[in-house]
Structure 1
Amino acid sequence: MRRERYPKEVKEQLIKEALEVGNATQVARRHGIDPKRLDYWISAAKHKSFQETPADAKKVTAYVPSSQEFSQLESENAALKKLLGEKALEIQILQDLVKKTNPGYRRNWK
């Protein structure tokens, strides 16, 4: 079985149509080509466009908060730790109260 070769323009048109429609299989069947081939062309086109993207556009930078944001985050963190400590103490007090009022009630609270 001989493979058919398609011009670059036809491939680009089919890829564009498949991306617009959102269903590559339907586009491939309409044009009488194998859906797997069209999927391959689409994935190759995406890979190719990523390779052609400038390197500075692909950089992922880390977020570094300013000193004002950092101090705000520290104060918020301290407030949350205080709140968590209060809640843990409240839970412990309630557990002790349940143990005292119901001496036969045993439960592992951990």
Structure 2
Amino acid sequence: MKRIRHSKDFKLQVVKEALETGNKAAVARRYEIAPNMLHRWTKEYEAGKFGDVSLEGISSLETKVLSQENDQLKKLLGEQALEIAILRDLIKKKNPHLLTKLK
């Protein structure tokens, strides 16, 4: 059997599709590669051996958790910025002479 070398882009595309669908065997049949090969590529992807993308070594579950945590932190930061703006407006209205100390 002839040995074929696949590019990293091809491997990455196939692995991402397999992870999205959750059916490695069907994806392997579609691209006419051995299921064991796809399984090995998936393990390499999760271990971060492809190295082209910054989140390569992170599994899809960890990516979802990080994304949720990131969204929570963005929301918290926005709330804090709003609270600071409201407090500054209150200080301006009640104590205009303190306005010079805030800057």
Which structure has more relative contact order (CA 8 Å, sep 6+)? It is: 2
Q: Shorter chain as normaliser: what TM range?
A: 0.3 to 0.5
Relative to the length of structure 1, the TM-score reads: 0.44
